[in-house]
Structures are given as structure tokens and as C-alpha cells.
Amino acid sequence: MAPIFRWGFLGLILTLIYLPILVLVVNSFNASKYGIKWGGFTFKWYEKFWNNDGLMGAALNSLTVSIVAASVATVIGTLAAVALHRYQFKGKALLSSMVFVSMLTPEIVMAISLLIVFMALGIKLGFISLVIGHITFCLPFVIVAVYSRLKGFDMKMLEAARDLGASESNIFWKIILPLALPAVASGWLLSFTLSLDDVIVSAFVTGPGYEILPLKVYSMVRVGVSPEVNAISTILLVVSLVLVVISQLLLREDK
Amino acid sequence: MNEPRALLILNNLSKTFGDNRVLDNFDLTIFDGEFFTLLGPSGCGKTTVLRMIAGLEETDSGNIQLDGQDIAQVPAEKRPVNTVFQSYALFPHMTVFDNVAFGLRMSGVAKEEIAPRVTEALEMVRLGEFAQRKPAQLSGGQQQRVAIARAVVNRPKLLLLDESLSALDYKLRQQMQIELKRLQRKLGITFVYVTHDQEEALSMSDRVVVMDKGKVQQLGTPREIYEQPANLFVAKFIGEINQLNGEIVAVDGNHEYEVKVEGLQWRLHAEHNFKAGDKVNVLLRPEDVRVEYIDDPHPDQYLVGTVIERNYKGKTLDSLIRLPSGIEVIASEFFDEDDPSFDYSLNQKVAIKWVPGWEVVLPHDV
Amino acid sequence: MTSSLGQFRFWAIGLASVWLTLFVFFPNLLVIITSFLTRDPQATVSLPINADSYVRTLDLLYLQVLWDSLRMSLLAMVFCLLIGYPFAMAIVSLPKRWQPVILFLVILPFWTNSLVRTYAIQFILGNQGIINKSLLGLGVIDKPLQLLYTQFAVILGLCYILLPFMVLPLYSALEKLDVRLHHAAKDLGAGPLKRFWYITVPLTSPGIVAGCLMVLLPAMGMFYISDLLGGAKNLLLGNVIKTQFLHTRDWPFGSAFSVILIVLLGFMLWLYFRAARFVNKQGGLNGADF
């Protein structure tokens, strides 16, 4: 393919992908209510969001859930990735397939399956159920991120450590974790954004009293275009973007 | 006896990669039906030449004529030339049969013709029963043979082999060398072979071109290359060589010269034209060097040296002998268990000589 | 020594295994079981085990929704493939140092809020949106086209959100393709089109299946895309499931629909592993097509 067609095609598709986002961001600063004409630059929609207790409360809840879920998922996921990479154990293939399949399962199936199991286990819908749900869909991503990193490890180095008397726990804390830290951190950041942006699973496992931002946005957005939503959306987009960029930079730094 | 027909003519080929002039005004003629080898160290340009012939590399300048036709502009897929790649490059998702049939299918050979031709090719490389296997199920040597079958089944005018045996272990390589030679004779196709292994080149080829830095160093039969190296590079690249420094004292006429070597004057033969005062290199192959006890009577001239290494190699006994000037000479003699004269010890003084005429005298390359 | 080996190992393997078993394996099992139970207003579900729910899915109304949903998702998958494959090929042909950059730019939107991005499409497709305004302005049309709340909008939305999922596995598969196989094919007389058909496509087939899987299945479940862009008429399977679980509270019925999705997932996974075996690769986590 001639270079010019290559870059042209890539450029076209990329532009189309980012166009709606751009329009959205621009409109969040548009004083005109419906975004038809440009009414002047303004921050008032952001102010409205800031002053809206309901929305801010939901935002705070979202942050809490995401931080907790990302952290727990990172811990479990990192350990799992190490186990899958280092150890042979009965059921290893089963575990590996479960991770693989859970990554491919459509979110809606995961959502209702969680709802059913919560009912079966008697777990009330609310903060706890949300966190559990978020941890569950973040887990495979952390595992894949850390596992990929571990694949590039020099196994001889770990054998040398054992030869010198280090226990498995030592090896993990003193060698594996420090070297895999970028991938672990990256896994946390990605889990956090996935959790923050989640709509499908949250719609099913959240409780009546506990509001989170994406769902609140969802109910606002079903009605149609609304300027506060533009502001919130822009904030969400920017936060995600920044976090993802950081996580990628982390991964790249060590290469 | 037919006059050999020129099948491939390469004229003034050049190629530069970045700052690296990989090929420099390279000329070559290859004859129909011969087993021709391009030999040289890595980076000498031999693989580039091969790829240009195949059409996988473009020339910066120069032309390529195959059977009288200029093919430089013809794309690779349309040239009547096939390559056996170093990594075999077998298609992993196809069976051995489909791999071998690929070229035939691409050129639109009639369906009924494909099966018998593929079977014939597989029989020729003795892989008849493996037709339905996939490449991953075959050993390295077997994959190699499939690669060969896949190329020859198309009856190309020229078969190119790019260091095809380098991935095999020693014994297998020896075997494959014999098989390739046999195959070439049977098929009558012109083979162009690329290698850096000079033993391989000498044993298989009808003619060899030795290359270095994109240029032809010498073109000739294996015997010519080995016994009459045209320059120091070729002499050193092919086999082992001893290099003595000399100076022309007088011209005796008819390619005979009086040469001063290691303080003694010798009457030596040289193909080049020299005059008195020229500095020369006197080259000797290790197997041409004679080592004798110093106490024995010596009717002819000899050099004196000290044995500093002895290596028993099974077939031969190799000795490293230091001359008073500091130059070290390797002597390789067939080991005869019963001959007591083979019992040199380290630091023993010995006499070195050679059969007159077996030396090669070249101008002194700086 | 063995006790600490045992202890660390125990927790590392145990935590994840328990979690996945409890919240992935077990729940999916429950979904299948639930689909065979009966709806009960008090206890949500109760015993009489029967296949009633499945029978009811065959109702013409639901069958129509199922069929439309499948069709829209398949179309989205096909468009993603038609755009995604050349896109991935273009990336692979770029100089090495540009590849991660462009890849990152494509994947980046995936990590941001999909709901928000879907909402943003309204600005493009709406009656007051960019497309209509430009076409009106240029005089190509004299009244705004109804682009929003159509099947077209839903399919576009699905493509828009799911394209990165098609590009990633395709890129991964194309990148791993041994270029020497192309040289060999060229040498044997295959031109660019033939090489594409006989070498490139078959050898990237696991990637193709993976990409299709990762678009088709989520597509059927993304109810918010249907809500925002499709209006009341263009429903996806996800909408039906959501309604049954959250509004009608007919869990067995909703589960039956989910099982259909699970079966579809199973089928596509089978295809994936078949394709991986065809090209002699392992597939799965170790095949790392992601």
C-alpha cells in the first residue's frame, strides 16, 4: 500500500473516531443550551455540576467504588498472574480458561449472572454488590496485563534467587513485584477507569439507595441532549484519558 | 561436446543500503546445467545477488538477463526462477502436498497434472508418504526436503538456494550435500547456491565465485580456487594457509624467479609477472608442508623451526612451528602410527620444506 | 522452605480461583439453572423446573426482536471487519516506531466512557447535528434526514464503540505473520491478491474469529446504544434481558435469552480454537491474540 493511502485511510478513520468526542467537549463550553449555535465560551455547566449535590454525591460514590474495586482486583489479579506464570498446579488449565472466557463473556451476561448469584448468596444490592461486580470484570484485565509482563522475564534470574535461599514469598516481594510494578500500576489504572465508566454491570447490581455517576448520567441522557451532561461527560473523558496515558507511559518506560 | 550455454548474465549490478555499498559493479555469467556457488563471508553481498535474481530485491543499477531476456523489470512472481529459503518458509497451514502444489496452482497448471507432478517431486526427495502431514510434524531435514520439492516441481530455469543447509547439524548436512548434488545432476536444472562454508562450496560446485565487500575476488572451479588462489583474501578464506614473506632477487625467465624467503634463496614458480625488488607473499597449504627431523640428511634446502604445538586430529597430525623470524607455520601431515618419525615433541627443532611448485607466489597485499 | 512455598502459592492460586469460581463459574451455571425455573413474585424464582421460558422465546414478538438484534449485530460485526482489517493492515505496514502510537490512538477511546461517547453521536446524527447541518448548508437536501433513532444509528453506534475490539486481535495476528512466507509465495508465482487470499487470510483466521467474537457478542447486549440511538423500536437482545430482569422481574425468561448468548459464545469459541489448530497455534491466553 502506498504510504499516502495508508496514512490517509488511518487519518480518516481516526478523525471519524475522535470527531464526536471533540464535538462533545467543545459543546461543554458552549453557552448556548442546545449546542446548535456557538453561544460563547462559558464554564457555567461545570459550575452547575459542581453545585448539584445529587450529582456530586454520585460522583463521590463512583470514586469510592472504583478505588476499592481497582485495588482489590489488582491484588488478586497480580497474584493470579504470578501463579499462572510460575507454578504448575492441578486445575491450572481450568483457571486459565476461566480467565480467558470471562474476558470474552458479554457484559450483560456477566451482569445478570452476578445478580442471580447475589440473590442466591443473600447479598444485598448496594455498595458491596457493586464492588464485587466491578472487581469481577476488572480481574481478567489485570491478569493479562501482569502476565504479559511476566512472560518477558528471565526465568533464570528467579532460579538464581531460589538457589541463593529466597522463599517464594521473598521472590515475589523483592524481585517479581518491583520489576512488574509498571504493569501492576497500569493494571490498577485501567481497572479504575473501566470501573468508573461502567454502565452495564452497574445497572444490574446497584442498589436503590446507592447512586453512581454513570447511571445518573444514563438516566439524564435518555431524555436527550443536556448541557450539564456535556460537562460531566467531558470531565469523565478527560479523567480516563489522563489515567490511560499515564498507564501506557508507565508500561513503556521500562521497555 | 556442446559449448556451455550462458543461461544467466549479470551485468554491472550495484546496490547500496544506506551508507553500505553492498554490491559494486558486479558481473557474472552462469552456464546452463551447472552447480554454481556464491561463496563469501557474511555481508559480502552474495545473498543480495541471489535475491536480485529471484526478484525479491531491486537493483540500483545494472541488468539481469535470463535465457536472453532482460528480467530486471519482471516481478518475482512471474520469473521462471524458484528459491529454497534458508528458513524453508513452508506454509504452516497447508499440508506437505499443498505446499509443493502451491507453485503449480499459482501458474494455473491443469488440475489433472498437479497430483502426479507433486507425487513425483516428493518421491525424488524421498518424502512420498508424508504428503498429508503438516510442516510442524516434520523434522528439520524433512522440512528442508519439502522446501526443495516445492521449488523443483515447477521446473524452473534456475534454482536458487540460500544457505539452505545452514540450519542442519553436521552429519545431516554432509548427507544433504550429496543428495543435492545427485538431484541437480538428475534434474539437469541450473543450481545457484549461496554459502559461507567453503568446504561445502568446494565439495558440491562445478564453479565457484568467491566474493568480498560486494566484489568478485575469484571465479573458477573448486580446484582452481583452492590450488591457485588469485589473491590473499581467497587464499585465506578457503582452507588454511601459511603466509611467508619474500622478495624477488632475480628473474629466471618463464615464470621462474629467485626469491629470498626467511634468509634463504629459493627458486619458485609464480603466475604473476614480477621484477627484481618486488615484495611477495609465498603461500603454502598446511598439507603441502613437509616436516623432517633436523638430524636427518637433507639434500635440499630447508628452513629451521621450533615445534610449539601439536594437535592430533585423528586423520592428521597438525603441528605449529615457529620460524626464527617469528612467523608460525601450520603443517598438516597424515598420521601414520607405525612411522617413528612422527614423534615430535614440543620445543624440538625440525626442518621444514615443500615440493617445489606447490607454493603459490602472490604480490604483497598490504 | 516448603511451608512458605506452600503458603504464598496457596494464597496466590487460591484467591483468584475462589473469586472466579464464586463470581464467574458458579453464576453462569446459575443462569442456566434459572432459565429452567419458574417465576415467583415472592421469592423471585421457585421450583417447578420446566422449559417454559424457552418455549416463550419462540413467541413471534420475541423472535422478531432476536432476529433484528442478531442482524444489527452481525452487520456491525461485518462493518467492523471491513474497516478493521484494512486498518490493521495499514498499521502493520507502518514503520515500527509508529505502530504502538497509532494503535494506542485507536484503543484509547475504548478506555473512556462508552456511554458518553454514544451520547456524543447524537451530536453528529441528530436533526440539528453535524451531518444534517452540513448537508442542509451545502444545499444537498432541504429538510433534515432522519438519521437518529434508526437501525442505521444503532449499527453505527455499535461499530463506533466496538471497532477497537476488532482492530486489536487483527493487528496482533497480522503482526505475527512471518513475512518470509510472503517472499516464498511470491517466489512461487503468487501475485498480491493471491498472496492475500492464500496466505494472509488463512494465517490470520484465529485473529479474525477473535475479533468477530469480541464485536458480535457484546453488540447484542449493549442496551444503552439501543436506548440512546435506536429509540423504542430498534431493540437489542440486551434490552429484552434488561427489561425482564429489572422491570418485569421474570428472571427465568431473561435467563433463557442469556443462555442463547452463552451458547453463541460457546460456538464462537469453538470456531476460534478450530482456527488456531488450523494454523498450528495454541490459542487462548498463551496464544496471546489480545
The answer to whether C and B touch (≥3 CB pairs < 8 Å) is: yes
Query: B23 with B81: CB under 8 angstroms?
Result: no
- pTM for the model stands at 0.81
Backbone angles phi, psi at B329, to 5 degrees: -110, 135
Band (pLDDT 50/70/90 cuts) for residue C62 is confident
| Whole-number CA gyration radius for chain B | 25
Q: In what order do the strands lie in the sheet with B328-334?
A: B289-293, B349-354, B303-312, B316-322, B328-334
Closest to B197 measured CA to CA, from B152, B167, B227, B231: B167
Of C30, C89, C130, the CB nearest to A117: C30
C209-243: pLDDT as tens digits: 989 998 999 999 999 999 888 887 888 989 989 98
Is C176 at the interface with chain B, CB within 8 A? no
Instruction: Please check the confidence at residue A78 and state whether its pLDDT lies above 80.
Output: yes
Please report where in the chains the cell 555499498 appears, as a residue: B21
B10-64: pLDDT as tens digits: 999 999 988 888 898 899 999 999 999 999 998 888 999 999 999 888 888 899 9
Q: For residue B333, how many other CB atoms are within 10 A of its CB? A: 17
User: Chain C: nearest CA to A31, how far in angstroms?
Assistant: 16
The answer to whether A and B touch (≥3 CB pairs < 8 Å) is: no
Rounded distance between C-alpha atoms, residue C98 and residue C108, angstroms: 15
Instruction: Please check the confidence at residue C280 and state whether its pLDDT lies above 80.
Output: no
Is B93 at the interface with chain C, CB within 8 A? yes
Is C279 at the interface with chain B, CB within 8 A? yes
Rounded distance between C-alpha atoms, residue A191 and residue A134, angstroms: 9
Query: CB distance C184–B83 less than 8 Å?
Result: yes
Q: What is the pLDDT of residue B211?
A: 94
Averaged pLDDT, A122-145: 90
Rounded distance between C-alpha atoms, residue B246 and residue B223, angstroms: 25
Strand partners, B35: B191
Find the angle CA(B44)-CA(B48)-CA(B54) to the nearest 5 degrees. Answer: 150
Rounded distance between C-alpha atoms, residue C234 and residue C226, angstroms: 6
CA nearest to B100 within chain C = C188
- Does residue C55 sit in helix, strand or coil? helix
Band (pLDDT 50/70/90 cuts) for residue A53 is confident
Band (pLDDT 50/70/90 cuts) for residue C289 is very low
Q: What is the pLDDT of residue A91?
A: 80
CA dihedral C123, C126, C127, C132 (to 10 degrees): 70
Q: Which residues contact B12 (CB under 8 A, 6 or more apart)?
A: B25, B26, B27, B61, B62, B63
Rounded distance between C-alpha atoms, residue C264 and residue C80, angstroms: 19
Q: What is the pLDDT of residue C77?
A: 95
Instruction: Please check the confidence at residue B365 and state whether its pLDDT lies above 70.
Output: no
Query: CB distance C130–A23 less than 8 Å?
Result: yes
User: Chain A: nearest CA to C68, how far in angstroms?
Assistant: 18
Cβ contacts of C181 on chain B, cutoff 8 Å: 89, 91
**What is the DSSP pairing of strand B256-261 with strand B264-269?**
antiparallel
Query: CA of C129: how far to CAs of A35, C109, C227, in Å?
Result: 9, 21, 18
Cβ contacts of C245 on chain A, cutoff 8 Å: 112, 115, 204
Is C121 at the interface with chain A, CB within 8 A? yes
Of A77, A169, A217, the CB nearest to C8: A169
Query: CA of C60: how far to CAs of B242, C64, C238, C260, in Å?
Result: 95, 6, 18, 16
Mean model confidence pLDDT for chain B: 89
Band (pLDDT 50/70/90 cuts) for residue C193 is very high
CA nearest to A74 within chain C = C16
Is C262 at the interface with chain A, CB within 8 A? yes
Query: B22 with B15: CB under 8 angstroms?
Result: yes
- Does residue B141 sit in helix, strand or coil? helix
Per-residue H/E/C for chain A: CCHHHHHHHHHHHHHHHHHHHHHHHHHHCECCCCCCCCCCECCHHHHHHHHCHHHHHHHHHHHHHHHHHHHHHHHHHHHHHHHHHHCCCCCHHHHHHHHHHHHHCCHHHHHHHHHHHHHHHCCCCCHHHHHHHHHHHHHHHHHHHHHHHHHCCCHHHHHHHHHCCCCHHHHHHHHHHHHHHHHHHHHHHHHHHHHHHCCHHHHHHCCCCCCCHHHHHHHHHCCCCCHHHHHHHHHHHHHHHHHHHHHHHHHHHCC
CA nearest to C276 within chain B = B93
Query: C251 with C245: CB under 8 angstroms?
Result: yes
* Residue C26 per-residue DSSP state: H
Q: For residue A100, how many other CB atoms are within 10 A of its CB? A: 20
Q: What is the pLDDT of residue A134?
A: 94
ipTM for this model: 0.82
Band (pLDDT 50/70/90 cuts) for residue A182 is confident
Cα end-to-end span (Å), chain B: 44
Of the listed ranges A117-131, A199-213, B229-243, C271-285, the least confidently predicted one is C271-285
Cβ contacts of C285 on chain A, cutoff 8 Å: 84, 96, 99-100, 144, 147
Cβ contacts of C122 on chain A, cutoff 8 Å: 224-225
B75: its cell numbers: 516481478
- DSSP H helical ranges for chain B: 46-54, 96-106, 111-124, 140-152, 170-187, 198-204, 222-227, 232-237
C234: its cell numbers: 430498534
Strand partners, B194: B38, B162
Query: B221 with B233: CB under 8 angstroms?
Result: no
Closest to C119 measured CA to CA, from A186, A168, A232, A129: A232
Query: B283 with B330: CB under 8 angstroms?
Result: no
Rounded distance between C-alpha atoms, residue A214 and residue A91, angstroms: 37
Band (pLDDT 50/70/90 cuts) for residue B291 is confident
CB neighbour class for C141 (10 Å; exposed up to 12, middle 13-18, buried from 19): exposed
**What is the DSSP pairing of strand B158-162 with strand B81-84?**
parallel
Query: CB distance A116–C34 less than 8 Å?
Result: yes
Instruction: Please check the confidence at residue A178 and state whether its pLDDT lies above 90.
Output: no
Is C194 at the interface with chain B, CB within 8 A? yes
**What is the DSSP pairing of strand B207-212 with strand B35-39?**
parallel
User: Chain B: nearest CA to C184, how far in angstroms?
Assistant: 6
Is C264 at the interface with chain B, CB within 8 A? no
Q: Is the dihedral of CA A144, C158, C219, A211 positive or negative?
A: positive
Band (pLDDT 50/70/90 cuts) for residue C2 is very low
